[in-house]
Amino acid sequence: MVNKAILLGSALACWLVSAAQAIEMEDDLGARARLEKPPQRIVSLAPSNTELLFALGLGKRVVGVTEYCNYPEEAQSLEKVAGYNTMSLEKVVAVQPDLVLAARGNDLEGVESLRRLGTPVFALDIQSVGQLLKAIERLGRLTGAEEEAAKLKGQLGQRVRRVEKALEGVEERPRVMWGYWSDPVYTAGKSTMIDDVFALAGGDNVGRRAEGAWPQVSLETILAWAPQVIFTTYVPGGPDSLGGEMARLRAVDGWKNVPAVQQGRIYYVEGDWLTRPGPRLVQALEHIARHLHPAAFEGP
Protein backbone atom coordinates (compact mmCIF):
# COMPACT_ATOMS: atom_id res chain seq x y z
CA MET A 1 0.00 0.00 0.00
CA VAL A 2 2.74 2.39 1.01
CA ASN A 3 4.79 1.26 -1.95
CA LYS A 4 1.92 2.03 -4.22
CA ALA A 5 1.58 5.47 -2.75
CA ILE A 6 5.28 6.14 -3.25
CA LEU A 7 5.06 4.89 -6.80
CA LEU A 8 2.06 7.07 -7.47
CA GLY A 9 3.73 10.02 -5.81
CA SER A 10 6.90 9.70 -7.80
CA ALA A 11 4.90 9.26 -11.00
CA LEU A 12 3.05 12.45 -10.14
CA ALA A 13 6.32 14.22 -9.45
CA CYS A 14 7.73 13.10 -12.79
CA TRP A 15 4.61 14.29 -14.53
CA LEU A 16 4.82 17.64 -12.78
CA VAL A 17 8.44 18.08 -13.76
CA SER A 18 7.75 17.29 -17.41
CA ALA A 19 4.63 19.44 -17.33
CA ALA A 20 6.70 22.33 -16.05
CA GLN A 21 8.99 21.85 -19.05
CA ALA A 22 6.16 21.70 -21.55
CA ILE A 23 4.09 24.80 -22.06
CA GLU A 24 0.67 25.14 -23.56
CA MET A 25 -0.87 28.51 -24.33
CA GLU A 26 -3.80 29.85 -26.29
CA ASP A 27 -2.77 32.30 -29.01
CA ASP A 28 -4.53 35.50 -30.11
CA LEU A 29 -6.52 33.67 -32.78
CA GLY A 30 -7.91 31.17 -30.31
CA ALA A 31 -5.74 28.19 -31.23
CA ARG A 32 -3.65 26.30 -28.70
CA ALA A 33 0.08 25.88 -29.09
CA ARG A 34 1.98 23.26 -27.11
CA LEU A 35 5.75 23.29 -26.81
CA GLU A 36 7.53 20.42 -25.09
CA LYS A 37 10.62 22.53 -24.49
CA PRO A 38 11.74 26.10 -25.16
CA PRO A 39 11.92 26.58 -28.96
CA GLN A 40 15.36 26.56 -30.57
CA ARG A 41 14.37 27.14 -34.22
CA ILE A 42 11.83 29.92 -34.64
CA VAL A 43 10.24 31.16 -37.87
CA SER A 44 8.79 34.68 -37.78
CA LEU A 45 5.97 35.44 -40.23
CA ALA A 46 5.82 39.19 -39.59
CA PRO A 47 8.35 42.04 -39.31
CA SER A 48 6.91 42.98 -35.90
CA ASN A 49 7.40 39.41 -34.66
CA THR A 50 11.02 39.49 -35.83
CA GLU A 51 11.63 42.75 -33.95
CA LEU A 52 10.03 41.31 -30.82
CA LEU A 53 12.11 38.13 -30.97
CA PHE A 54 15.35 40.06 -31.41
CA ALA A 55 14.40 42.45 -28.59
CA LEU A 56 13.91 39.41 -26.35
CA GLY A 57 17.43 38.27 -27.18
CA LEU A 58 16.16 35.34 -29.24
CA GLY A 59 17.65 36.56 -32.52
CA LYS A 60 20.09 33.66 -32.72
CA ARG A 61 17.21 31.18 -32.63
CA VAL A 62 15.37 32.78 -35.56
CA VAL A 63 15.81 30.57 -38.64
CA GLY A 64 13.28 32.08 -41.05
CA VAL A 65 11.77 35.53 -41.63
CA THR A 66 9.70 37.41 -44.20
CA GLU A 67 10.99 39.48 -47.09
CA TYR A 68 9.93 42.59 -45.17
CA CYS A 69 11.86 41.87 -42.00
CA ASN A 70 14.38 44.72 -42.27
CA TYR A 71 15.02 45.38 -38.57
CA PRO A 72 17.30 44.78 -36.82
CA GLU A 73 19.93 44.55 -39.51
CA GLU A 74 20.92 40.97 -38.58
CA ALA A 75 17.42 39.86 -39.57
CA GLN A 76 18.05 40.81 -43.19
CA SER A 77 20.55 38.03 -43.76
CA LEU A 78 18.23 35.29 -42.45
CA GLU A 79 16.44 32.80 -44.69
CA LYS A 80 13.34 34.36 -46.28
CA VAL A 81 10.41 31.98 -46.11
CA ALA A 82 7.43 34.27 -46.63
CA GLY A 83 6.15 37.41 -48.29
CA TYR A 84 3.68 39.78 -46.69
CA ASN A 85 0.47 37.80 -46.71
CA THR A 86 1.65 34.75 -48.58
CA MET A 87 4.21 32.21 -47.50
CA SER A 88 6.08 29.36 -49.04
CA LEU A 89 4.82 26.45 -47.01
CA GLU A 90 7.66 24.24 -48.19
CA LYS A 91 10.33 26.79 -47.29
CA VAL A 92 8.93 27.10 -43.79
CA VAL A 93 8.92 23.32 -43.43
CA ALA A 94 12.42 23.06 -44.90
CA VAL A 95 14.02 25.14 -42.12
CA GLN A 96 12.52 22.67 -39.59
CA PRO A 97 11.12 25.15 -37.07
CA ASP A 98 9.95 24.09 -33.63
CA LEU A 99 7.88 27.29 -33.37
CA VAL A 100 6.27 29.46 -36.04
CA LEU A 101 5.36 32.91 -34.75
CA ALA A 102 2.47 34.08 -36.93
CA ALA A 103 0.36 37.25 -37.06
CA ARG A 104 -3.24 38.07 -37.84
CA GLY A 105 -2.41 39.28 -41.36
CA ASN A 106 -0.80 35.99 -42.42
CA ASP A 107 -2.14 33.43 -44.87
CA LEU A 108 -4.27 31.63 -42.29
CA GLU A 109 -4.81 28.69 -44.60
CA GLY A 110 -1.05 28.22 -44.58
CA VAL A 111 -0.91 28.62 -40.81
CA GLU A 112 -3.50 25.84 -40.50
CA SER A 113 -1.49 23.67 -42.91
CA LEU A 114 1.58 24.10 -40.69
CA ARG A 115 -0.39 23.05 -37.61
CA ARG A 116 -1.62 19.96 -39.43
CA LEU A 117 1.93 19.10 -40.42
CA GLY A 118 2.76 19.09 -36.73
CA THR A 119 4.56 22.43 -36.40
CA PRO A 120 3.59 24.45 -33.31
CA VAL A 121 2.20 27.83 -34.38
CA PHE A 122 1.56 30.81 -32.13
CA ALA A 123 -0.27 33.77 -33.67
CA LEU A 124 -0.18 37.31 -32.28
CA ASP A 125 -2.82 39.95 -32.89
CA ILE A 126 -1.59 43.15 -31.25
CA GLN A 127 -3.80 46.22 -31.68
CA SER A 128 -2.67 48.54 -28.88
CA VAL A 129 0.29 49.53 -26.75
CA GLY A 130 -1.24 47.69 -23.79
CA GLN A 131 -1.60 44.50 -25.84
CA LEU A 132 2.00 44.88 -27.00
CA LEU A 133 3.24 44.84 -23.41
CA LYS A 134 1.09 41.82 -22.58
CA ALA A 135 2.24 40.03 -25.74
CA ILE A 136 5.88 40.51 -24.72
CA GLU A 137 5.20 38.79 -21.41
CA ARG A 138 3.35 35.89 -23.06
CA LEU A 139 6.01 35.53 -25.71
CA GLY A 140 8.63 35.37 -22.98
CA ARG A 141 6.71 32.59 -21.24
CA LEU A 142 6.26 30.66 -24.48
CA THR A 143 9.92 30.86 -25.45
CA GLY A 144 11.41 30.44 -22.00
CA ALA A 145 12.76 33.98 -22.04
CA GLU A 146 10.77 35.21 -19.05
CA GLU A 147 13.58 37.31 -17.62
CA GLU A 148 14.32 39.17 -20.82
CA ALA A 149 10.58 39.66 -21.37
CA ALA A 150 10.10 41.12 -17.90
CA LYS A 151 13.02 43.47 -18.51
CA LEU A 152 11.78 44.60 -21.93
CA LYS A 153 8.23 45.00 -20.67
CA GLY A 154 9.49 47.02 -17.72
CA GLN A 155 11.59 49.33 -19.90
CA LEU A 156 8.87 49.94 -22.47
CA GLY A 157 6.21 50.33 -19.78
CA GLN A 158 8.35 52.90 -18.04
CA ARG A 159 8.73 54.92 -21.24
CA VAL A 160 4.96 54.84 -21.74
CA ARG A 161 4.44 56.01 -18.15
CA ARG A 162 6.94 58.83 -18.67
CA VAL A 163 4.82 60.10 -21.56
CA GLU A 164 1.67 59.80 -19.45
CA LYS A 165 3.35 61.69 -16.62
CA ALA A 166 4.45 64.52 -18.89
CA LEU A 167 0.87 64.89 -20.06
CA GLU A 168 -0.59 65.02 -16.54
CA GLY A 169 -2.48 68.25 -16.12
CA VAL A 170 -2.45 68.99 -19.83
CA GLU A 171 -6.10 69.59 -20.73
CA GLU A 172 -5.70 70.36 -24.40
CA ARG A 173 -6.32 67.51 -26.84
CA PRO A 174 -5.29 68.68 -30.33
CA ARG A 175 -7.31 67.23 -33.19
CA VAL A 176 -4.90 64.87 -34.95
CA MET A 177 -5.10 62.77 -38.09
CA TRP A 178 -2.97 60.05 -39.62
CA GLY A 179 -2.83 59.92 -43.40
CA TYR A 180 -1.41 61.25 -46.60
CA TRP A 181 -2.97 64.17 -48.51
CA SER A 182 -4.43 62.22 -51.38
CA ASP A 183 -8.11 62.32 -52.22
CA PRO A 184 -9.80 60.34 -50.75
CA VAL A 185 -7.67 60.14 -47.63
CA TYR A 186 -7.19 56.72 -46.10
CA THR A 187 -7.07 57.29 -42.37
CA ALA A 188 -7.04 55.35 -39.12
CA GLY A 189 -10.27 55.11 -37.13
CA LYS A 190 -11.49 53.32 -34.05
CA SER A 191 -9.86 50.16 -32.74
CA THR A 192 -6.62 50.67 -34.65
CA MET A 193 -3.19 50.75 -33.07
CA ILE A 194 -2.66 54.27 -34.44
CA ASP A 195 -5.82 55.43 -32.65
CA ASP A 196 -4.49 53.96 -29.41
CA VAL A 197 -1.12 55.69 -29.83
CA PHE A 198 -2.81 59.04 -30.57
CA ALA A 199 -4.94 58.71 -27.44
CA LEU A 200 -1.90 57.88 -25.26
CA ALA A 201 0.00 60.79 -26.82
CA GLY A 202 -2.76 63.19 -25.78
CA GLY A 203 -4.43 63.68 -29.13
CA ASP A 204 -8.02 63.60 -30.36
CA ASN A 205 -7.97 61.28 -33.37
CA VAL A 206 -10.42 62.76 -35.89
CA GLY A 207 -10.58 59.40 -37.70
CA ARG A 208 -12.80 58.15 -34.86
CA ARG A 209 -15.61 60.33 -36.15
CA ALA A 210 -16.05 58.00 -39.13
CA GLU A 211 -17.32 54.43 -39.15
CA GLY A 212 -14.93 51.55 -39.47
CA ALA A 213 -11.31 50.96 -38.61
CA TRP A 214 -9.79 52.36 -41.79
CA PRO A 215 -12.21 54.96 -43.19
CA GLN A 216 -11.62 56.53 -46.57
CA VAL A 217 -12.77 60.12 -46.40
CA SER A 218 -12.99 63.01 -48.85
CA LEU A 219 -11.38 66.42 -48.53
CA GLU A 220 -14.65 68.01 -47.43
CA THR A 221 -14.84 65.65 -44.47
CA ILE A 222 -11.30 66.63 -43.52
CA LEU A 223 -12.25 70.30 -43.74
CA ALA A 224 -15.13 69.58 -41.37
CA TRP A 225 -12.87 67.65 -39.01
CA ALA A 226 -10.26 70.45 -39.16
CA PRO A 227 -7.28 68.45 -37.85
CA GLN A 228 -4.70 70.67 -36.11
CA VAL A 229 -1.88 68.16 -36.54
CA ILE A 230 -1.30 65.58 -39.25
CA PHE A 231 1.12 62.66 -38.95
CA THR A 232 2.10 60.92 -42.12
CA THR A 233 4.15 57.81 -42.71
CA TYR A 234 4.58 58.59 -46.37
CA VAL A 235 5.93 61.63 -48.16
CA PRO A 236 6.45 61.52 -51.94
CA GLY A 237 10.14 62.04 -52.56
CA GLY A 238 11.04 60.99 -49.01
CA PRO A 239 10.71 62.58 -45.56
CA ASP A 240 13.14 65.38 -46.48
CA SER A 241 10.71 66.83 -49.00
CA LEU A 242 8.00 67.37 -46.38
CA GLY A 243 8.72 71.12 -46.24
CA GLY A 244 8.23 71.48 -49.99
CA GLU A 245 5.04 69.43 -49.85
CA MET A 246 3.63 71.67 -47.13
CA ALA A 247 4.41 74.80 -49.16
CA ARG A 248 2.64 73.20 -52.10
CA LEU A 249 -0.42 72.28 -50.00
CA ARG A 250 -0.75 75.89 -48.79
CA ALA A 251 -1.62 76.80 -52.38
CA VAL A 252 -4.08 73.95 -52.97
CA ASP A 253 -7.77 74.88 -52.65
CA GLY A 254 -9.35 73.10 -49.74
CA TRP A 255 -6.11 71.88 -48.23
CA LYS A 256 -4.96 75.44 -47.63
CA ASN A 257 -7.89 75.80 -45.21
CA VAL A 258 -6.93 72.79 -43.07
CA PRO A 259 -5.51 74.08 -39.72
CA ALA A 260 -2.59 71.62 -39.75
CA VAL A 261 -1.51 72.97 -43.15
CA GLN A 262 -1.96 76.60 -42.13
CA GLN A 263 0.08 76.13 -38.97
CA GLY A 264 2.68 73.95 -40.65
CA ARG A 265 2.01 71.09 -38.24
CA ILE A 266 2.41 68.13 -40.55
CA TYR A 267 4.99 65.70 -39.23
CA TYR A 268 6.62 62.60 -40.57
CA VAL A 269 6.69 59.51 -38.43
CA GLU A 270 8.55 56.37 -39.45
CA GLY A 271 5.93 53.91 -40.72
CA ASP A 272 7.85 50.93 -39.38
CA TRP A 273 7.58 52.42 -35.88
CA LEU A 274 3.92 53.35 -35.95
CA THR A 275 2.34 50.56 -37.96
CA ARG A 276 4.31 47.56 -36.72
CA PRO A 277 3.17 46.20 -33.37
CA GLY A 278 6.77 45.79 -32.23
CA PRO A 279 9.01 47.38 -29.55
CA ARG A 280 9.56 50.51 -31.66
CA LEU A 281 5.88 51.41 -31.30
CA VAL A 282 6.84 53.13 -28.05
CA GLN A 283 9.34 55.22 -30.03
CA ALA A 284 6.45 56.32 -32.26
CA LEU A 285 4.41 57.18 -29.17
CA GLU A 286 7.20 59.39 -27.75
CA HIS A 287 7.77 61.06 -31.13
CA ILE A 288 4.05 61.82 -31.60
CA ALA A 289 3.51 63.01 -28.02
CA ARG A 290 6.43 65.45 -28.30
CA HIS A 291 5.05 66.95 -31.49
CA LEU A 292 1.49 67.17 -30.13
CA HIS A 293 2.51 68.76 -26.82
CA PRO A 294 5.94 70.33 -27.25
CA ALA A 295 5.50 72.45 -24.11
CA ALA A 296 4.82 69.44 -21.87
CA PHE A 297 8.14 67.88 -22.80
CA GLU A 298 10.23 71.01 -22.31
CA GLY A 299 12.03 71.67 -19.10
CA PRO A 300 14.97 70.39 -17.16
Partner 1 sequence: MSFRSLGVMVPLLLGLLGVLSLLSLGAGPVDIPPAKVAALLAGRSGEEVEAVIVRDIRLPRLLLAILVGAALAQSGAAMQGFFQNPMADPYIVGVSSGAALGATLALTLSLDFWVYGISGVALSAFGGALLVTLLVYGLARRGGRLPVTLVLLTGVAMGALCSALTSFLMISSNPFDMQRILFWLMGSLASRRWEHVHMVWPQLVAGMVFLQVFARDLNLILQGEESARYLGVDVERVRRLLLVGASLLAAAAVAVSGIIGFVGLVVPHLMRLLVGPDHRKLFPASMLGGAILLVGADLMARVLVEPAELPIGAITSALGCPFFLFLLARRRQAVL
Interface ranges with partner 1 (CB under 8 A): 29-30, 66-67, 80-91, 93-94, 96, 104-105, 107-110, 112-113, 116-117, 211-214, 216
- By C-beta, is 93 or 242 nearer to partner 1? 93
Min dist CB 194 to partner 1, Å, is: 12
Do 280 and 189 contact (CB within 8 A), yes or no?
no
From the CB of 105, what's the least distance to partner 1, in Å? 4
Closest CB to partner 1 among residues 29, 242 = 29
Among 18, 50, 49, 45, smallest CA distance to 34 is for 18
Q: Which is nearer to partner 1, 193 or 206 (CB)?
A: 193
* Of 243, 249, 212, nearest in space to 227 by CA: 249
What number of other Cβ atoms are within 10 A of residue 54's Cβ?
Answer: 21
- Rank residues 15 and 186 by Cβ distance to partner 1 and give the closer one: 186
**Class of residue 65 by CB neighbours under 10 A (exposed 0-12, middle 13-18, buried 19+):** buried
Closer CB to partner 1, 193 or 266, in the complex = 193
Q: Which of 285, 294, 240 is nearest to 265 (CA)?
A: 294
| Closest distance to partner 1 from the beta carbon of 8 (Å) | 37
CB of 23 to partner 1, least distance (A): 23
CB of 107 to partner 1, least distance (A): 6
Query: Within 13 Å and on the Cβ side, how many CA atoms surround 242?
Result: 16
